[in-house]
Amino acid sequence: MSVLSALPRRLLAMSFAMCISAQVFSAPKEVVIGSVVPLNGPFATLGKPLAEGASACFDYINENGGVNGYRIRFEVQDDSFDPKLTVAKTQELIAAHSPVALLNTAGTLQNAALIQSGVLSKANIPLVGPRDGSSTVRGLQSKNHYFLIAGIAAEADKIVNVSATIGRKRMVAVYSDDGSGREALAQIERAAEKSGATLVARYPVPAGLKDIPDIARKVAADQSLQQVLVYGVTPLVAQFYKEIRTLRPALPVTSFSTTSHAAIVDILGAEASRGLMLTQVTYPTSSALQIMKDFRAAMDLQQIPEVRINNLHLEGFLAARVVVEALKKIKGVPTREEMAAALHQIHKTDIGGLSYDFSNGRREGSSFVQIGIIGPQGRLMN
C-alpha cells in the first residue's frame, strides 16, 4: 500500500478521534451532592419531602445552566431513621460517589452518631441543613454541621409563649418516648417555667402508637387543660389529633416543625386536619420573596401539587440553595475543602431575599419560628 493510498484512511481515523475528543470535551461536567435521609417507614414523612425539595432545587438550577459550567448530580441514600444505617450509608455514599457536600441528615441520634463516628471529619465534608433542632447535637459543636433552622428550644419558646400570652397556661405534653421526644419535653418544661405556664401532665408515647387512644382519653378528661403540645413522627401526631378531636374538639393542639402538614392531610383528610397548629422554621411559601418564587417554580417543575408541598420541602430546597450559593463562589474544580471555605464566605449573603451567615465560625444560620394552622382544603395558613 502506497503512502498516498493510506492517507485518506489516516485522515478518517484522525477525524474520528477528533470527534470523540470534541464529544468528551463538550460533555457537561458534574459535581455531586449527597443526602442520607429516611425514605421508608414512619419517618419517611420527614425524609422524603427534604429529598424532594433538594432535588427540585438542583433540577431547577440544572435546567437554567448549572453552576459555573457544572451540572449538579444529587445522590440520596435511605437510612430508615436508624443511626447505625445513617453512619453506614453515609460512608457508602462518600466512597461510591465522592460528593463535595451532604444535605439534611435528619434526627438527633442520627446526627450525633455521624459526629461521634468521625465519618464527616475524616472525609472533611460539610453537612448543610441537618434536620435537627436539638441542643444535644448543637452542643457537640461539629465543625462539619451548618444549621439552617432554629433549634427545638426556639420552637418550644414560641408555642408556650404564644399560648401563655392569650391565657392558655395549663398545658400538657404528649411526646415520642425516644431521644428526640425527651429532648423536646425538656425544652417544653424549660419554656413553661420561663413563661409562668404550668405543665399539668407529661405523656410519653412508646413505639407502635397503640397507647395513643388511652392517652387521648386522659387528656380529654382533664377539663382544666387549655393547650396540648405534641412532638413525634407525623403518624403519631395524626392519630392523637384524630382521637382528641373526637373527644374534645375545642382543645387547641400544636405540634412541632417535624410534622408534615401534607402528610397529616393525607392521613386524616382535609376536614379532619383543620385546626391543627404547627410550628414553622422557614418562611411561608406564600411569601413574595424571590427565593419563594424560585421554590414554587422548582416544585412546579417536579409536578408536585401545591396542597402536598410543606415546610420540609422548603427546608430541603433552602439547604440545596445554600450549597448552590457556595458553589458559585468556587473558582475552578469544586472540592470539599473549597466548599467549606465558600460556606465560610457566606456572610449575611442575600439569597433571594433571605440572609444566612456562616462567617467567623458560625454554625446556626437562622432563629426564625412562626406558627401555622391547617385551614380549609387542607392548606397550611400562616
Pair 74, 94 in one domain = yes
Pair 123, 177 in one domain = no
Bridge partner list, 131: 106
> Nearest to residue 354, comparing CAs of 381, 377, 321, 332?
321
10-residue block means of pLDDT along the chain (382 residues)?
A: 44 48 60 97 92 97 96 98 97 98 95 97 97 90 93 95 97 94 95 97 94 98 97 95 97 94 93 96 78 92 82 93 96 96 85 83 84 92 82
Domain boundary among 212, 238, 256: 256
Q: Is residue 104 part of a domain?
A: yes
Pair 35, 139 in one domain = yes
Q: What is the CATH number of the domain that holds 329?
A: 3.40.50.2300
CA atoms within 13 A of residue 190's CA, in its CB half-sphere: 14
Pair 322, 245 in one domain = no
Q: Are 115 and 88 in contact (CB under 8 A)?
A: no
Q: Is residue 261 part of a domain?
A: no
Please report the pLDDT score of residue 27 as a whole number: 61
Please report the pLDDT score of residue 25 as a whole number: 47
Pair 140, 237 in one domain = no
Q: Are 140 and 127 in contact (CB under 8 A)?
A: no
Please report the pLDDT score of residue 302 as a whole number: 87
Domain boundary among 218, 239, 256: 256
4 vs 238: CA distance, rounded Å: 82
Q: Are 132 and 189 in contact (CB under 8 A)?
A: no
Pair 172, 143 in one domain = no
Bridge partner list, 174: 203, 230
If one counts the domains in the chain, the total is 2
Q: Is residue 276 part of a domain?
A: no
Pair 76, 221 in one domain = no
Q: Is residue 13 part of a domain?
A: no
Pair 209, 234 in one domain = yes
Q: Is residue 117 part of a domain?
A: yes
Pair 162, 190 in one domain = yes
Pair 250, 190 in one domain = yes
The amino acid sitting at 35 is: S
Q: Is residue 17 part of a domain?
A: no
Q: Are 259 and 237 in contact (CB under 8 A)?
A: yes
Report residue 202 as a C-alpha cell: 407529661
> Nearest to residue 254, comparing CAs of 335, 332, 158?
158
Domain boundary among 217, 239, 256: 256
Pair 143, 196 in one domain = no
Q: Is residue 2 part of a domain?
A: no
Please report the pLDDT score of residue 21 as a whole number: 47
Q: Is residue 375 part of a domain?
A: no
Pair 233, 326 in one domain = no
Phi/psi of residue 379, nearest 5 degrees: -85, 145
| Range of the structural domain that residue 219 is part of | 153-256
Q: What is the pTM of this model?
A: 0.79
50 vs 120: CA distance, rounded Å: 20
